[in-house]
Amino acid sequence: MGDDIMSYNGGVALAMKGKECVAIACDKRYGVQNKTIATNFTKIFQYVLFENVSFFLKVQTVSERLRFRTNLYELREQRKLKPLVLYNMLTNLLYERRFGPYFVYALVIGLDPKTGETYVFDSDNIGAISDNVNLATVGTASDYIFGLGELFFKPNMNADELFEATSQALLNGVDRDSASGWGAVVYVVEKDKVTVRELKGRQD
Amino acid sequence: MARRYDTRATIFSPEGRLYQVEYALEAISHSGASLGILADDGVVLAGEKRNISPLLDDVKYSEKIYKIHDDLCCSVSGITSDANVLINELRMIGQRYLLTYQEPAPIEYIVSRLCNIKQAYTQYGGKRPFGVSFLYMGWDKHYGYQLYQSDPSGNFGGWKATCVGHNSQTAISILKQEYKIGETKLNDALRLAIRVFSKTLDTTKLTPEKIEIAVLQHDDKTNQTTIRMLKDDELTALIKQYDDEQSKLEADRQKQQAASTTDRK
């Protein structure tokens, strides 16, 4: 593992777009360098349910601080957050700590229930913004998963195909990385519902 | 009155009073009324709307009742701009507690913190006090349903039913007679609120545009609190129910009067 703080705990997440659906998946390992401590540490934190859905890679402090800001936004504006707003809030939060950053990479996905427009964004740990991409990965096994993701991705997939593509890319990608794995959790967000599935992969 | 002692907000008068605080209370007594009633299964907050011009744009959610936190809602009486500042502060207090302790803030904590801020303006800084009284309704896992009132002096108290603002004394005396401790359910509370407002509002006829009512209920099974503003049709139904009761009472009374006059003959 070496000295790299970003690979200290390990873990990985992947997000992919389909037709009026988006999926985000993460592994469940929580470890300290090469020691695995827990195998139920999902890194996905849900912000708003059903109206404008946005998901995000969780590390406790960042997610709690983001929740502080999103709660105040919703109280003052009297409406739910849009995915792009959440993403901008998050990147702003991360950049505030430009010279003493949070050690977290972020993925935000969202779906507008009225228009069906899908959003997938990722960010580095100081809040560099990305475009709305088809596929995004973060984590220690991100390169491996990205390759598989590119292979399995087709434009305009429906929810089931999207689930298959996302889960296969993640499960097979983490097998190449010792710091990720121990199963996966996949959230598929559609206009009217969110489906959560837990997958059992190689338990090593 | 010793006028010289009014000019500084943070000075006592010779009689030991804080005039600025009293003037603030006076400002509040001219503003729209806010009424709160605690029921066994929920809490009701009602507000008398003053801004009812048809030219008003429909964007704002509500004039008097604001959500502070998941299980706390408050109603405002007094200077609206002062209230907006304090409501923002209330929301921040709630979120800071949530950030530190990862659980919703107890109602009394939030009220108490805000009242400390309000009190500071009566003692330091040379600034005037906030001209707002709040009624807070909420639920927490420590004490269940609660109703609090806070005023410009920074004092607060828990209540079973209370009123602030215009004609609040009349409202409180009606509440004292009619509120039944331990036997009030949400529907009774709503009917009581309408009854009180019909007597205290300046208008002859109560209409849904002049009042807003919010109801807070907590579902123990799902551990969720819902804060709901009553819609126009629900308000109309409640008002109609009250009107029907009144006309029935009136009709009974007239019948009795007619009966008694015939007896006398």
Residue B82's CATH number = 3.60.20.10
Amino acid of residue B57? D
C-alpha distance from residue B72 to each of A75, A137, B68, B136, B225 (Å): 12, 39, 5, 7, 9
pLDDT in tens, A91-148: 999 999 999 888 888 888 888 878 888 999 888 888 898 899 999 998 888 899 999 9
Contacts of A125 (CB under 8 A, 6+ apart): A6, A94, A101, A102, A103, A104, A105, A106
Residues of A with CB under 8 A from a CB of B: 64-65, 67-68, 71-72, 75-76, 78
Alpha-carbon distance of A16 to A134, in angstroms, equals 6
ipTM associated with this complex: 0.84
Nearest Cβ partner for A68 among B67, B68, B99: B99
Report if residue B259 sits inside a domain. no
Contact A151, A166 (CB under 8 A): no
Predicted local distance difference test score (pLDDT) of residue A92: 93
Contact A72 B99 (CB under 8 A): no
For all residues of chain A together, what is the average pLDDT?
85
**pLDDT (mean) for B88-116:** 95
Report if residue B218 sits inside a domain. yes
Instruction: For residue B41, give its domain range.
Output: 17-254
- Give, as one character, the DSSP assignment of residue B102: S
Chain A residues with CB-CB distance to B95 below 8 A: 68, 71-72
Nearest CA in chain A to B102: A64
- Give, as one character, the DSSP assignment of residue B130: P
Report if residue B6 sits inside a domain. no
A187 DSSP β-pair partners: A24, A196
Q: Rounded to 5 degrees, what are φ and ψ at B262? A: -65, -35
Predicted local distance difference test score (pLDDT) of residue B60: 60
- A57 pLDDT band, cuts 50/70/90, is very low
- A32 pLDDT band, cuts 50/70/90, is confident
Domain A5-199 CATH (choose: 3.10.110.10, 3.60.20.10, 3.40.50.2300, 2.30.29.30): 3.60.20.10
C-alpha neighbours within 13 Å on the C-beta side of residue A170: 35
Contact A75 B91 (CB under 8 A): yes
The tally of domains found in chain B comes to: 1
Q: Does B98 touch chain A (CB under 8 A)?
A: yes
pLDDT in tens, B52-69: 888 887 766 688 999 999
- A191 pLDDT band, cuts 50/70/90, is confident
- Tell me the count of A-B CB pairs closer than 8 A: 21
